[in-house]
């Protein structure tokens, strides 16, 4: 089967898909993206991703390349043409193609690119196998609420984690607080059983998976706190996990080489994974998607 990509109005074979060398996404990382997860043929969290995309575009003053509804059609068409029932759709919008000048170009259409990737279906067994994270300084800019394609610090952090034999790197700000992972949100369960993840602010990307897990917790009557937590608090935690559209809800059993809790995947983590999967199967994603910074 030939993989098909969407590039500025055309469906093209993946190996031929290309953007112009003066696309501002390529030259300046002047663009934004979203990664949509498909679960058993269902597009998860579409409204949340679209609302967040709108926020990113608005903050950067990039125009929608086409309507939300039309983008929804292209997403489904890319899923269909690539036979993605379980997997991901990647969407990127850049400010467009123009002579290389820093200021915004005039009268230029934004660029739109989509690709699809098939993946094995979500596997709870695998997600329950604990992974390690390391902590690194958060050296990024100050607008993590914008889903910018400018991901250098995230790439360097993820590579550092990989080389350390860890799954993810948790980024730590100047106050010693964990903001988030390089591609996921960070969560702990304190010794008192409090479920904690960083509050929505410019310091984190408000994950669609994060929102889903919070709504699933609320639905099940599980208390949670949205607040920063320190590295010391994380090291003393009973449980930890990460969430993202590509990692789902993955148990963390070590931080900087130190075992979390008793080293086994925690009770609440296991419960939250079950609740998360039930929630997306029942509701298709978070229902309340209005808070982006």
6/187 with CB nearer ligand PMP: 187
CB-nearest residue to ligand PMP: 207
Which parts of this chain interact with ligand PMP (CB under 6 A)?
Answer: 35, 154, 180, 183-185, 205, 207-210, 243-245
DSSP helix/strand/coil, 74? helix
Residue 189: CB minimum distance to ligand PMP, A: 19
Supply 242's token pair. 């990460």
Q: How many CB atoms lie within 10 A of CB 283?
A: 15
28/90 with CB nearer ligand PMP: 90
Residue 88: CB minimum distance to ligand PMP, A: 10
Residue labelled with tokens 């969560």: 187
Residues across the chain: 293
Instruction: Just list the catalytic residues.
Output: 147
Q: Where are the beta strands (DSSP E) in 177-221?
A: 177-181, 185-189, 195-197
* Residue pair 50/68 in contact by the 8 Å Cβ criterion: yes
Distances in Å between the Cα of 232 and the Cα atoms of 131, 225, 251 are: 19, 17, 19
Residue 52: CB minimum distance to ligand PMP, A: 7
92/243 with CB nearer ligand PMP: 243
Residue 37: CB minimum distance to ligand PMP, A: 8
């Amino acid at each position: 089967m030939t993989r098909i990509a969407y590039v500025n109005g055309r469906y093209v074979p993946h190996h031929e898909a290309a953007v112009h060398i003066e696309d501002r996404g390529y030259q300046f990382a002047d663009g934004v993206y979203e990664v949509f997860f498909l679960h058993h043929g269902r597009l998860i969290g579409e409204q949340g991703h679209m609302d967040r995309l709108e926020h990113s575009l608005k903050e950067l003053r990039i125009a929608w390349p086409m309507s939300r509804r039309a983008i929804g059609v292209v997403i489904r068409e890319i899923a269909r043409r690539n036979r993605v029932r379980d997997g991901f759709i990647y969407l990127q919008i850049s400010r467009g193609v123009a002579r290389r000048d820093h200021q915004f170009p005039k009268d230029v259409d934004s660029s739109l690119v989509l690709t699809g990737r098939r993946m094995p279906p979500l596997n709870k067994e695998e997600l329950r196998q604990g992974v390690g994270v390391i902590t690194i300084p958060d050296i990024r800019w100050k607008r993590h609420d914008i889903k910018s394609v400018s991901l250098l610090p995230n790439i360097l952090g993820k590579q550092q984690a990989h080389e350390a034999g860890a799954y993810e790197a948790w980024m730590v700000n100047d106050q010693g607080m964990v903001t988030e992972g390089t591609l996921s949100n960070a969560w702990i369960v304190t010794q008192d059983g409090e479920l904690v993840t960083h509050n929505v602010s410019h310091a984190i990307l408000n994950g669609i998976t994060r929102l889903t897990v919070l709504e699933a917790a609320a639905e099940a009557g599980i208390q949670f706190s949205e607040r920063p937590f320190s590295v010391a608090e994380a090291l003393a935690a009973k449980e930890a996990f990460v969430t993202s559209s590509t990692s789902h809800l993955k148990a963390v059993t070590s931080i900087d080489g130190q075992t979390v809790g008793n080293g086994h995947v925690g009770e609440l983590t296991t419960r939250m994974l079950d609740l998360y999967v039930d929630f997306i199967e029942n509701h298709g994603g978070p229902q309340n998607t209005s808070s982006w910074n």
